[in-house]
Chains A and B, each alone.
Chain A
């Protein structure tokens, strides 16, 4: 019999990315500052986040080079000031029109992307002081330089944290979908990876996320059936302390009285996929 077997926190990617809500950002930062060395991410979370960051960066930079640069060149502008907003507004309006004609079915996503780039460019243009001039080439190069620096910084937290190489088992992911009705397959994969790691090492892990709709709203059910504790960052350390008082995950599961049919089904899947018997 063993107590105090808590391996640490399995982080969802949202914990490592800047969040628009200050309260969420602060609670994540506190957890990372206080317990960064007890945090880990599974390789699928890392890959997904890095891919997304790189794809977003590629879209913006490619758009600046392929569309905005030739446009400014055609206009023959030699110096940009913060008074050139109207010109850029016309450019983006034209571009959206072109997209609608070219890709009628997919225009929403494309329009949103163009809208985001438009917003970014306009904020940068308006941040220029009155009287300040810059060549279009230098303006665009500055945008791309800053984006490259930010892209590197967005990826940095994923590089500085312990990564667990683990692939979730299909049997467990299918059961998770069935019993929790979580819609996002990536969320299911991350939870299944955490579960697999927990029972492989026979040490508790705590899955930390700010995803209220898909995961936190179902945290009691996920613990009841799968014995995986999910929490938001604010309470992660409290769960950590309380779980040090529990027996190890396998022993905990073995000591459950009167298994529900769902618990039995889960234990059966674990035994089949991982060869670990977690029922008494």
Chain B
């Protein structure tokens, strides 16, 4: 159980990566797929745009903060194997028709690593929460958003396994092949939009809490005790409730594609399950 979440080197959900969707294309690739450098600079700009959506503490200069973030995000993205992989897979999409097997295998491998990354993010959010007096809703809202994203990844894998089989069976039938691609791109769009929204809101919340608890730029994103008193209660509440709202919407979306499955047996002997169930029984008496 005490997994190596801490040792993996991932960190807080502090940047948005926009790397979750992979299209299925036939021949006419309409979007120009980004090269690595363009993807990095676009992602940095996308992240920086969040600064306009949260109040920045007066003691941090906006220019200095922007410069700091630009460098920090750039450095994080360049070290981020998952981000690099996502850009690479995006490029394969151009020739997906010819290298279908490797395209899908790459996606499945990528998703496995992505899920580990999400566990690690959960770990770091838990750590931030434990070293703070923040309300439990902070941990719950971010935790739920990460776990819903994991559910979406599972749903995505399950769906594209079916689509892969269908594509293989329709390889020589161009209209049918294109239809499968179009259907995929349509449903995936909805999931992506929701996930992007969730990721942005999560990062905004982390930024707001962290920036306001950093007395200077050197303390940004560093380990520290986070105090609620340094935050505006109303802003914190709004950021959390907005995230909860997006999570609920995302939950509804996943429910529409979730095949019913009972509680998985792998947990039957785990003490985490027993602890929660036992306390449920005690408080229900």
Most chain A CB within 10 A, of B124, B139, B282, is at: B282
Known: A124-B271, A137-B131, A149-B147. A160 touches B279 (CB 8 A): no
**B185 part of interface (Cβ distance < 8 Å):** no
Residues from chain A with Cβ under 8 Å of B285 in the complex? 109
Shortest A30–chain B CB gap in Å is 9
Q: Do A128 and B2 form a contact, CB below 8 Å, given A109-B282, A156-B263?
A: yes
Contact of B284 among A36, A52, A139 (CB under 8 A): A52
Counting chain A CB atoms within 10 Å of each CB, the highest count among B6, B270, B271 belongs to B271
- B1 contacts the other chain (CB 8 A): yes
Interface of B is mostly: helix
Say how far B152's CB is from chain A's closest CB, in angstroms: 13
The complex places the Cα of A53 from the Cα of B125 at a distance, in Å, of 21
A144 to B277: give the CA distance in the assembly, Å: 16
Q: Evaluate contact between B1 and A146: CB separation under 8 angstroms.
A: yes
B-facing mask of A25-56, CB < 8 A → 1, else 0?
Answer: 10011001100110100000000000011111
- Tell which of B81-89, B90-98, B103-111, B254-262 binds the partner: B254-262
Shortest CB–CB separation between residue B145 and chain A, in angstroms?
A: 11
Q: Check B264 against A153 for contact (C-beta < 8 Å).
A: yes
B244-273 vs A: 1/0 string, CB under 8 Å?
000000010001001111111101101111
Number of residues of chain A lying within 8 A (CB) of chain B? 62
Q: Are A160 and B275 in contact (CB under 8 A)?
A: no
A120 x B263 contact (CB < 8 A): no
Q: A18-B277, A56-B279, A113-B279 are in contact. Are A150 and B267 (CB under 8 A)?
A: yes
Q: Assess the B262–A159 pair: CB atoms within 8 A.
A: no
Residue among A17, A58, A65 with most chain B CB within 10 A? A65
Chain A residues with Cβ below 8 Å from B265 are 25, 29
Whether a CB of chain A sits under 8 angstroms from the CB of B278 is: yes
Is A127 touching B2 in the complex (CB atoms < 8 A)? yes
Residues of A within 8 A of B277 (CB): 17-18, 20, 56, 154
Are B273 and A150 in touch, CB under 8 angstroms?
yes
Q: CB-nearest residue of chain A relative to B276?
A: A56
Q: Name the CB-closest residue of A to B263.
A: A18
With A55-B283, A116-B275: A145-B123 Cβ-Cβ less than 8 Å: yes
**B280 touches A (CB below 8 Å):** yes
User: Which B1-28 residues sit within 8 Å CB-CB of chain A?
Assistant: 1-3, 5-6
Q: Is the Cβ of A123 less than 8 Å from the Cβ of B271? A: yes
> How many of chain B's residues have a CB under 8 angstroms from any CB in A?
48
CB <8 Å contact, B126 and A148: yes
Name the distance in Å between B274's Cβ and chain A's nearest Cβ.
Answer: 7
Contact A60 B136 (CB under 8 A): no
B1 contacts A124, CB within 8 Å? Answer: yes
A144 to B279, Cβ gap below 8 A? no
Residues in A with CB closer than 8 Å to B242 are none
Task: Known A-B contacts: A18-B277, A145-B126, A157-B263. Give 12 more (CB < 8 A).
Answer: A20-B277, A29-B262, A36-B259, A39-B260, A69-B130, A120-B271, A137-B127, A141-B127, A147-B276, A153-B267, A160-B258, A160-B260
A-B contact pairs, 21 of them (CB 8 A): A18-B263, A18-B268, A18-B277, A20-B277, A52-B284, A55-B283, A65-B130, A109-B285, A113-B283, A120-B275, A123-B271, A137-B130, A141-B126, A142-B2, A144-B129, A145-B122, A150-B276, A153-B263, A153-B264, A154-B263, A159-B255
